[in-house]
Amino acid sequence: MRIFRPKYRDRNGKKKQVNKWWVEIKDHNEIVRRFAGERDKAATETIGRNIEKLISLWHANEPPSTQLVLWLNQAPAKLRERLVKIGLLDSGWVTASKSILEHVRDFENSLALRGKEKHARQTASMLRKIIGG
């Protein structure tokens, strides 16, 4: 794991550093990945250590510990989506962060795509009333 702050050149050619720290780590497929961290270096190190734990758990084919689950629930949605995309997490982690109304909208869209627009509108309307009550 490597923690760093990337450098870049601004429009005037002056060297600058980004505000956030980044984590560079080899994933479970031995591919080097970079993850945006926080402005605080210690917080970014925590992100890196937790990603390393996920990788070791993936190799051992074990579920995340309670502490890791708590961290994942508080992690930014973008990070969870990225971890799902590279295969370290089950897709349920992304859907768990969606609100119930977003799930209703997805359900309505799936019904509408099957050519059942009227049924989709009515069902979604009823669901929204139930949730609102």
pLDDT tens figures, 16-30: 999 999 999 999 999
Buried b (16+ CB within 10 A) or exposed e, 88-119: bbeeebbeeeeeeeeebeeebeebeeeeeeee
- 107-113 mean pLDDT: 87
Domain boundaries, the chain: 2-93, 100-132
Report pLDDT digits (tens) over 44-96: 999 999 999 999 999 998 888 888 888 888 888 889 889 989 988 887 665 55
pLDDT at 96: 58
pTM of the model: 0.67
C-alpha span between 44 and 119 (Å, rounded) = 47
